[in-house]
Structure 1
Amino acid sequence: MSQGSFLKNSKSASFISDSGSNDEKGSFSMRIKKAQKEMPGVVLFILWCCVYAVFVYGSWVLSGYCKPKIGFASQSDEVTLDKAKFVHVLAAFIFGVCIIMDVSGMVFQVSAKKRQVNSLALFINMVSFVVYVSTVLDVFTPMYDTVGEPIAIQFFMQWMCTTPIMILVLASLGTSMEENLVPDWPLVINAICWDELMLVLGLTHNIIGSCLIGWAVFCCAASCFVIVYYRIWQIIDRNVKQAATTYEITSMRGLQIYTYLLWISFPTLHILHHLHVLDDTQFSICRTFVDVLSKAIYTVALMTGNFCILDTVATLRLQQMEA
């Protein structure tokens, strides 16, 4: 074999090897993109697990700098946890049922768009399930505010991750026959930013306590809360104008009202707790009850609501034509 032919064959083999490697990389990236499109909630949950592990480790480190109030017996913490633990177990069980319902929706739903929305609801319930199970298993060490009162920082972390997805679900409804799942991203991102700021300020108020500065921070959080409500109204109003059927409009308005009523319960309970109208046990039980309702309603709404009707009909018609 001549030297020229050897070089030619070597280059050819190298080209085939490189192209095979590129095909493998391309197919892997295509699979990732397909998973992100068809199951965005599952991809988000995998990323969230990494963030959650860092958060748990950080809570262990910071707990060494948090001390209970002088005269505040650690036994009262144990009594509160014992009374609230059953409610937390029940909440984890309900979220587990919601997870099964969401997975069923992803597997058996005809509409590809509705499967995407179901995967987002799955993320909401899986995050809540993990946080409540971690609370029951005492994964988090006790945390205290500046005056030594106990605070449950893990629930703020949960809300910071789940409420943006709840807003995203609201923005995804009523978009029948539209190519994009979320038609108005700038409005949704604006709502999510205000929502995150509201939760950060709420957590700050919990850390500072019931002093003048703390209540001033709470008022700022309340202002953000009003803006979030207005942004949700804008999102729903936009979707109502684009909705294909009156059934979708009724379902969206109903979910909007439920969201408003349940979300307003959180700051109400927060105020009552800081005013010592509710003790720690009562506050924990009421907060858990509202938290479960505010998230489970999305799974129930997707199972029973009239969403993505035309997408489902169009998919069935295409399958009939191809059969």
Structure 2
Amino acid sequence: EQNAQAGKSPSAVPASGSSTPAQVLSLRERILGSIGFYWIIAGLCTYFALSWLGRALVHDDKAEELWRSQVPVYIYDRSTFVFTTALSIDLLSILFERQTLKLDYVLLPAFIKGLASTTNFIVRFASPCVILTTGGRFVMLQRYICWMHTTASILMVVQLISTSIDWPEVVRTILWDELMLVAGVIALMTSGYSQVFWTLVTHLAIVPVLPYIHKGFKEA
């Protein structure tokens, strides 16, 4: 009766216990509020910083000439096409997931493919960091710089799909992963007992990473 006297229909009265709908955030707000965005910014900064340091400190022009004379360029063209196609799919996924809690699930994979594509472009069209081993073989150090970021990002994704992996465990595992890659490069650049030592380190460093990956996929 009160509703009728006020000229309102019963449907206009909010139901008891109802809550105000959550505010719909824009894609920009969702990205800025995700950890993936800041991980990508930090990753890009360290990637290009390490690339510059690699070119300045350990790059070997003879190694680059040797690499270009032995490796067909179509290999990198094909790899670039594959990764850029996958990157395009991930970028479209960001639009579809912009209103869900799964935005980091597409931001981090997009970063992985994007960095791999960037590395391919640098290798194909610019001047990548290449070194010579003690045995006279060339090593594409630019790939190792890329792997230092992409493998760490993969470990971040594993944490997202897990139900019990906490951030201290993520950080410890990423540090072991980085040690594995750095020790591998040092092993390639040394010889004798030093090479044996660093080879042993790089193999042992992966041991803590394996249970982490198993745990993440088991809980996914």
TM range (shorter): 0.7 to 0.9
Q: Secondary structure at the residue paired with 1:151?
A: strand
Distance 2:43 2:215 in 1: 28
- For residues 44-87 of structure 1, the C-alpha deviation after alignment (integer angstroms, 9 at most, x for no partner) is 333333333333332332256x4759xxxx86533213x2x211
Partner of 2:167: 185
Structure 1: gaps spanning 5 or more residues: 1-30, 176-181, 241-251, 253-323
Contact 2:162/2:215 (8 A) holds in 1: no
Q: 2:209 aligns with which of 219, 222, 228?
A: 228
**Aligned ranges 1:294-305 → 2 under 5 Å:** none
The correspondence for 2:57, drawn from 59, 62, 76, is 62
Alignment of 1:1-323 (within 5 A): 35-38=31-34, 40-63=35-58, 66=60, 76-81=66-71, 83=72, 85-109=73-97, 112-140=100-128, 142-175=130-163, 184-209=166-191, 211-237=192-218, 240=219, 252=220
CA RMSD of aligned residues (A): 2.9
Asked whether the equivalents of residues 204 and 214 of structure 1 are also in contact (C-alpha less than 8 Å), the reply is: yes
Higher helix share: 1
| SS of match in other structure, 1:226 | coil
Please give the alpha-carbon distance, in whole angstroms, between the structure 2 residues aligned to 1:112 and 1:234: 25
Structure 1 residues 51, 107: CA separation in 2 closer, same or farther (over 3 Å shift)?
A: same
For residues 95 and 77 of structure 1, do their structure 2 counterparts lie closer, same or farther at Cα, with a shift above 3 Å needed?
closer
1:141 Cα deviation from its structure 2 partner: 5.1
TM (norm. structure 1) is 0.53
Deviation at 1:154, TM superposition (A): 0.8
Q: Deviations over 1:224-259 (max 9, x none)?
A: 11221022223344xx2xxxxxxxxxxx4xxxxxxx
**Is the CA contact (8 Å cut-off) linking 2:179 and 2:205 kept in structure 1?**
yes
Deviates further, 40-49 or 116-125 = 40-49
Task: Describe the shift of the 1:113–1:194 C-alpha distance in structure 2 as closer, same or farther (beyond 3 A).
Answer: same
Residues 94, 236 of structure 1: alpha-carbon distance in 2 compared, 3 angstrom cutoff: same
Q: How many residues align?
A: 194
Runs (5+) with no aligned partner, structure 2: 1-26
Alignment-derived partner of residue 315 in structure 1: none
Counterpart CA distance in 1 for 2:29 and 2:188 is 40
| Cα distance change, pair 103–223 in 1 and its aligned pair in 2 (3 A) | same
Q: Given residue 139 of structure 1, which amino acid in structure 2 is its aligned partner? A: S
